[in-house]
Amino acid sequence: MSTNRERVAVFPGSFDPLTNGHVDIILRGARLFDRIVVAILRNAEKSPLFTPEERVDTVRDVFQDNPNVEVESFEGLLVDYAGQKQASVIVRGLRAVSDFEFELQMALMNRRLGPAIETVFMMPAEQYTYVSSRLIKEVFALGGPITGLVPEVVEVRLREKRAQNRV
Ligand code: PNS
């Protein structure tokens, strides 16, 4: 049965930093759903390069002209956050077979925790299938080129971190 309710998706992740692979998935999600909420995890165990506030600012900057893309940070269980946002879908990107095992575990755990929320996987454009935040940080730290793999603003902010001797 169809309703007039708007279809909201959350796209959760660490986004440390945002890559063009993430951007590709967010744009696909923004075409598919009425609203997509980019949900940046606050309490990552790993010590992030960018603070949650810096990451929120960066993603907002990139999507400032996309009115149905919302950006927030969250902590706690993803399904609880999705419930607060009245989201019925969790979007995750799938790059290669190597992503599948962890993604399957998360999707099934999230289904157990929140049966009303469906996980939807989307493949990024081929040119981003090997791009990850971890590799971006590694290549940048070692002086390699990352142009074209991250939004320009991310490159600028990485250079700022370098100037502060943080990378
Ligand atoms: O970009 P990442 O690091 O792959 O994102 C992982 C993320 C944020 C999606 C995952 O760690 C998460 O949802 N954390 C919130 C806590 C939670 O709900 N854990 C149970 C999920 S199975």
Supply the residues annotated as catalytic.
22, 46, 95, 133
> Which pLDDT does position 165 carry in this prediction?
87
User: In terms of Cα–Cα distance, which of 69, 66, 64, 68 is closest to 40?
Assistant: 69
Q: Report which ligand 1 atom has the smallest distance to the Cα of 16.
A: 1
Centre of ligand 1 to C-alpha 163, Å, is 31
> Among 30-39, 45-54, 122-131, whose mean pLDDT is lowest?
45-54
pLDDT at 1 over 70: no
pLDDT tens per residue across span 36-94: 999 999 976 678 999 999 999 999 999 999 999 999 999 999 999 999 999 999 999 99
> Which pLDDT does position 166 carry in this prediction?
86
List strands edge to edge, sheet with 8-13: 69-74, 35-41, 8-13, 89-93, 118-122
Mean pLDDT score, 22-34: 98
Q: Return d(Cα 27, Cα 156) in angstroms, integer.
A: 22
Alpha carbon nearest to ligand 1 atom 10, residue: 13
Centre of ligand 1 to C-alpha 21, Å, is 18
> Which pLDDT does position 45 carry in this prediction?
64
Alpha carbon nearest to ligand 1 atom 2, residue: 13
> Among 25-39, 42-56, 137-151, whose mean pLDDT is lowest?
42-56
